[in-house]
Amino acid sequence: MLVLLVVIFFAASVSVFREFSFPIGGTEMTLSGLFWIMMAGLITLRLLGARARVLVPGYLWPFIALAGWAAVRWVLTPTGFRGLKDVLWYSMPVFFGLFVPLVLGKDASRALMRIRRIEKAFLFSVFIPIALFALALGTGMAQMTWQGPMGRFVDARGIPLYLLVVLAVALANWRYGPGKIRGRVLSLVSLGAIFLSVGRMVSILGLTLLAIAWVNPRRKWQILCMGSVVAIVTFYAITNIPVMQKRFFWAESWDPSEGLTSFNLMGRDRFWPAVYASASHEPLLGHGLGTARVLVGQFFVDEPEFHPHNEYLQVWHDLGIVGLFLLFLSWGGVFIRNWKMWARGSNSDACKWGMVSTLATGAVLVSSLTDNTLHYPFVIVPTMIVVGIASWLQSYKKA
Q: What are the tens digits of pLDDT across the range 69-84?
A: 999 999 999 988 889 9
pLDDT at 17: 63
Q: How far apart are CA 120 and CA 9, in angstroms?
A: 12
- Range in 35-44, 248-257, 341-350 the model is least confident about: 248-257
Q: Do the beta carbons of residue 180 and residue 352 sit within 8 Å?
A: no
Q: What are the tens digits of pLDDT across the range 282-299?
A: 999 999 999 999 899 888
CA-to-CA dists, residue 73 to 5, 139, 285, 320, 375, angstroms: 34, 47, 8, 10, 17
Q: How far apart are CA 110 and CA 117, in angstroms?
A: 11
Q: Do the beta carbons of residue 352 and residue 396 sit within 8 Å?
A: no
pLDDT at 259: 56
pLDDT at 234: 77
Q: Can you name the residues that pair with 144 across neighbouring β-strands? A: 149
Question: What does pTM read for this prediction?
Answer: 0.92
Q: How far apart are CA 245 and CA 266, in angstroms?
A: 14
Report CA 11 to chain centroid distance, whole Å: 11
